[in-house]
Structure 1
Amino acid sequence: MESKWLLLLTMATLMAVGNGQESVKPLVKIVKGKKLCDKGWECKGWSQYCCNQTISDYFQTYQFENLFAKRNTPVAHAAGFWDYHSFITAAAQYQPHGFGTTGGKLMSMKEVAAFLGHVGSKTSCGGGYGVATGGPLAWGLCYNKEMSPSKVYCDDYYKYTYPCTPGVSYHGRGALPIYWNYNYGETGKALKVDLLNHPEYLENNATLAFQAAIWRWMTPVKKNQPSAHDVFVGNWKPTKNDTMAKRLPGFGTTMNVLYGDQVCGQGDVDSMNNIISHYLYYLDLMGVGREEAGPHDVLTCEEQKPFTVSPSSAASS
């Protein structure tokens, strides 16, 4: 009887979403004295995080449209691909683990802006269009794949763990573009999707593309390293070595976690500044304000010692 009631309530919730209602009333149960909630497609899985404000409460369709205003223009290379529903559906699996639900509304909004700042920067075609068309920061989610790959990104070093599929190219795809067979293999294993044989799934399914990106945001790249999420929301406590390497909790170190020496420790470089600019722009558009991003040394990684040397340069050189 209880499962039937939960099913009916869930169906009513989904119907409310379909009718354009922004907020979903969570299902609630008490387990060992703790209140746990599930909000269906908005926050999937019984969790304390789902009882509080979830992403769709403070970040709604119109805001997504504002952030990615040019993504469906005729010149955008992935027009019609990315949408709000795909982002929230992907995020639903990670909100119970704290994605966009950690540390109160302000921190939650900042994390979503930070994550999407990376995504917008990495999928932008704003560099090719003038200020008259909305400016370079309005062109996030223009791509869902690398358009003219120069190689197939197959690294034979991983031939026993993540062997390359003949005829398949492992060039950049997704919201935080994935390169190389070992990264497709690792991500696919985590998401229980065969990306090693079918990397094209990331350019065919926007929810999966966002899911892969959020998984990377929430997951340490290597053992004994923090995740970008933990670095950003303050769960990570720097060691003495981290402090000496000028690695601090905040946005700057998320770049270090995700890109290592490709972006960080290089001084005041464009690749770093482009990501920061998207983050600040999104904070403004979400109504948070860029002044909430913190001081310069927290925002950048220009003087940080990289966590990692690029696997691609190390393994293929």
Structure 2
Amino acid sequence: MPATAASLITEKLFNELFPQRNKFYTYASFIKAIKEISQIKVNVTRRAVSVYQIIRTDKASGKATIVRQDVDWNEAWAKAKPDSSYEVDYSKFCTEKNAATNKKELAAFFAHIAHETRGGVDDTFTDGLMYIHEKNTTSAYIAENDEYPPVAGKKYYGRGPVQLSYNGNYGYAGDCILGDDKILLNSPELIETDPVLAFKTAIYFWMTPQTHKPSAHDVMVGVWQPKPADKAKGRAPGFGMTINIINGEIECNKGEDLYNMKDRMKFYQYFLTKLGGKDTANCSCGKMQPYLYGVNE
């Protein structure tokens, strides 16, 4: 049996890796989030690029529910287009492969959440998980979205370990994690008050492919392999590809000295060493072309 995510890290080590963390982020909350979200899997089918159906299964009860079916799902023009389907089983978080690969995945996950929430001194690697939400909360982070429209008066700025942002991501996360998109659209502040939910949003974001991007999980465990078009754009398996997925437009294809990219890479190597692993393959995205928003690649 592969190691579970909980078996890869003890409470003592978690506390050592995040010594300056906000008291909101506890080891117990992280482990509880893993256990609870592991009971969920979703089957996503996409028609005509942007017409979705999401079936969410609660593995504890065996109940499968359609939590999203876009209004054009049964239109003839949509049905005429080929479907693409995939399953996201959240129990595979840091468990899918052998111990060495699982450690790489956990180190990569920690590197990104540490970078996104850090607030201390460079290269000390002690300052991850310091922020529950982004420092500047003036922006609403609202984008037009037919399926996940914003609620009047609510802001969807970055919250939680991955700084989940925008109404579309809040709605999609609500569908997958909670089986109801309205919960996080109506009450985005829940991510700031429920640490288990906060960690679940991070695991959701890590595990769930985006429209034109693979999931960071699939990259780290080797499920994703580049197509010829990806290879032509410099995309290759490894930690660097996860940077491309998470913030490629800002941090990738800009050379090897970009601060944010390097910070993520250094956190990755630090955490990997602490977890007893090693990795030297394709950790940079300095020569990878980013994905362009709204472009099918």
Q: Same fold (TM over 0.5)?
A: yes
Pairwise CA distance, 1:103: 2.0
Deviations 1:140-161 (A, max 9, x none): 0000101322311122x22x32
2-structure distance, mates of 1:252, 1:199:
30
Look up the SS of the partner of 2:185 in the other structure. Answer: coil
Alignment of 1:114-133 (within 5 A): 114-126=108-120, 129=121
Alignment of 1:171-210 (within 5 A): 171-192=157-178, 194-210=183-199
Determine the structure 2 residue equivalent to 1:267: 255
More helix by share: 1
TM-score (norm 2): 0.76
Determine the structure 1 residue equivalent to 2:201: 212
Determine the structure 2 residue equivalent to 1:222: 211
Maintained 8 Å contact 2:134/2:157: yes
2-structure distance, mates of 1:253, 1:89:
28
Q: Are 1:89 and 2:77 counterparts?
A: no
Maintained 8 Å contact 2:243/2:285: yes
Alignment of 1:51-200 (within 5 A): 51-71=1-21, 79-92=22-35, 93-94=37-38, 97-126=91-120, 129=121, 136-155=124-143, 157-158=144-145, 160-192=146-178, 194-200=183-189
Pairwise CA distance, 1:267: 1.8
Deviations 1:102-134 (A, max 9, x none): 2211111111111011001101012xx4x7xxx
2-structure distance, mates of 1:104, 1:164:
41
1-structure distance, mates of 2:93, 2:115:
20
TM-score (norm 1): 0.71
1-structure distance, mates of 2:6, 2:260:
30
2-structure distance, mates of 1:161, 1:56:
35
- Residues 96 and 142 of structure 1: CA distance in aligned 2, closer, same or farther (over 3 Å): closer
1-structure distance, mates of 2:154, 2:34:
29
Letter in 2 for 1:307: Y
Pairwise CA distance, 1:97: 3.8
1-structure distance, mates of 2:279, 2:291:
22
Pairwise CA distance, 1:96: 6.2
Q: Which runs of 5+ in 2 are unaligned?
A: 39-88
Deviations 1:172-193 (A, max 9, x none): 1011011111121111122125
Letter in 2 for 1:302: G
2-structure distance, mates of 1:162, 1:101:
31
State which structure, 1 or 2, has the greater radius of gyration over its C-alpha atoms. 1
Letter in 2 for 1:188: G
Pairwise CA distance, 1:260: 2.5
Deviations 1:6-27 (A, max 9, x none): xxxxxxxxxxxxxxxxxxxxxx
2-structure distance, mates of 1:218, 1:166:
29
Letter in 1 for 2:135: M
Maintained 8 Å contact 2:2/2:99: no
1-structure distance, mates of 2:91, 2:119:
32
Pairwise CA distance, 1:307: 2.1
- Structure scoring higher RCO (CA < 8 A, sep ≥ 6) equals 2
Deviations 1:285-314 (A, max 9, x none): 2232xxx2223xx001011011234x7xx9
What do you get for the CA RMSD once the two structures are aligned?
A: 1.9
Maintained 8 Å contact 2:142/2:155: yes
Letter in 2 for 1:65: N
1:299 corresponds to which of 279, 283, 291: 283
More strand by share: 2
2-structure distance, mates of 1:122, 1:178:
10
2-structure distance, mates of 1:195, 1:146:
17
Maintained 8 Å contact 2:142/2:167: yes
2-structure distance, mates of 1:61, 1:255:
27
1-structure distance, mates of 2:219, 2:136:
33
